[in-house]
């Protein structure tokens, strides 16, 4: 009989037997899968686990703090945070092509992660033999059920590792679906913001700025995104919609009027969608009053933004993200 308590006990037991007195590493992305996988392994082997969180500077408002503070407080996990914002911004300078952005972010991510990993391996202590991955049942099925390597679509492989990886994998969520993972996370006492986080792409806000990614633009988009999320949560809609990308059209300007003055600012796009698996999606029919509040607040509170537009395209033909 399936209960979260049974799943946790079973996995804790299995992980302890598997790891013995060796050490394990886990990359945290801020998402629910890696967080729950890490929390389970932490429960099993405590300080024999070290987590790594690469702060690429492309996260939304508050998300890095959620990992650094709330997740650590909830689990007691040993965490190594690498502040790599500068490095990512430098690598992204002048780049506007979406696939180019993905490639650069993925490449830098792996380099930074590998360096952190090397430092952990060099520490005093037992050999680091294991790598924890938040692979879910649907990932296993999609990739033909193979074991032993990172089974994530290359498109989505920003947190992934190169082919020649020498670690043995610990994948404590391999038999679980997303909703079950959330239940386990809840039972393990993880913060709600992490357990119920909507899907968020590995390249983060880097692919939600149409145009070049700069610190200034990221800050602006973070503000707009935070307002949209706040209002959707206040309206009780955040768990109904699949996700709501908020996109900055950095290379577009339109004329506006605020106070007595003419403005020439950027549009923000709201892209709320409903979906089962992200393969197809429909645009969400959000209540007009919620949309109105988001629009008013963003244009009032976010500098350089004078227009908010709603994306009413399904997938297909539009993808969920704009890039």
Question: Annotated binding residues for ATP, as ranges?
Answer: 29-35
Binding-site positions: 29-35
Q: Does 320 bind ligand XMP (CB under 6 A)?
A: yes
Q: Is 95 in the site for ligand XMP (CB under 6 A)?
A: no
Q: Which is nearer to ligand XMP, 7 or 84 (CB)?
A: 84
Structure tokens at 273: 């969608």
Neighbouring CB atoms inside 10 A of 253's CB total 15
Among 74, 82, 199, 309, binds ligand XMP (CB under 6 A): 199
> Nearer Cβ to ligand XMP, position 109 or 167?
109
Query: CB-wise, 29 or 306, nearer to ligand XMP?
Result: 29
Q: For residue 202, state whether it binds ligand XMP (rule: CB under 6 A).
A: yes
User: Looking at 89, 278, 290, 310, which residue binds ligand XMP (CB under 6 A)?
Assistant: 278
H-type alpha helices, the chain: 4-19, 32-45, 63-65, 72-75, 85-92, 98-122, 137-142, 178-187, 192-195, 215-234, 288-301
- Look up tokens 């709600």; give the residue: 192
CA atoms within 13 A of residue 250's CA, in its CB half-sphere: 22
**Residues contacting ligand XMP: total by CB under 6 A:** 14
Note whether 321 binds ligand XMP by CB under 6 A: yes
Question: Contact between 230 and ligand XMP (CB under 6 A)?
Answer: no
Q: Which is nearer to ligand XMP, 70 or 321 (CB)?
A: 321
Q: How far apart are CA 22 and CA 71, in angstroms?
A: 24
Q: Which of 102, 197, 297, 307 binds ligand XMP (CB under 6 A)?
A: 102
Q: 93 exposed, middle or buried (CB, 10 Å; 0-12, 13-18, 19+)?
A: exposed
C-alpha span between 64 and 88 (Å, rounded) = 15
Note the residues at the interface with ligand XMP (CB under 6 A): 102, 155-156, 158, 199, 201-203, 243, 278, 315, 319-321
């Amino acid at each position: 009989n399936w209960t979260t308590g049974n799943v946790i006990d079973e996995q804790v037991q299995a992980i302890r037997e598997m790891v013995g007195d060796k050490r394990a590493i886990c990359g945290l992305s801020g998402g629910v899968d890696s967080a729950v996988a890490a929390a389970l392994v932490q429960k099993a082997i405590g300080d024999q686990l070290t987590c790594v969180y690469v702060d690429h500077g492309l996260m939304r408002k508050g998300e890095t703090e959620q990992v650094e503070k709330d997740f650590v407080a909830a689990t007691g996990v040993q965490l190594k945070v690498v502040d790599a914002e500068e490095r990512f911004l430098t690598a992204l300078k002048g780049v506007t092509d979406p696939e180019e952005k993905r490639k650069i972010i993925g490449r830098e991510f792996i380099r930074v992660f590998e360096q952190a990993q090397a430092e952990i391996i060099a520490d005093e202590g037992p050999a680091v033999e294991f790598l924890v991955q938040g692979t879910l049942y649907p990932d296993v099925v999609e990739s033909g059920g193979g074991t032993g390597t990172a089974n994530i679509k290359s498109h989505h492989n920003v947190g992934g590792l190169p082919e020649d990886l020498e670690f043995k994998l610990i994948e404590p969520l391999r038999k679980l679906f997303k909703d079950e993972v959330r239940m386990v996370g809840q039972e393990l006492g993880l913060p709600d913001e992490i357990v119920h986080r909507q899907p968020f792409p590995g390249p983060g806000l880097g692919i939600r700025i149409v145009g070049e990614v700069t610190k200034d633009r990221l800050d602006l988009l973070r503000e707009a995104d935070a307002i949209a999320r706040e209002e959707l949560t206040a309206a009780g809609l955040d768990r109904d919609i699949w996700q709501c990308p908020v996109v900055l059209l950095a290379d577009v300007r339109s004329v506006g009027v605020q106070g007595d003055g003419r403005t020439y600012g950027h549009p923000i796009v709201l892209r709320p969608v409903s979906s089962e698996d992200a393969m197809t999606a429909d645009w969400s029919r959000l209540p007009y009053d919620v949309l109105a509040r988001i629009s008013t607040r963003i244009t009032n509170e976010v500098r350089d933004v004078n227009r908010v537009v709603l994306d009413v395209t399904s997938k297909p033909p539009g993808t969920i993200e704009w890039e």
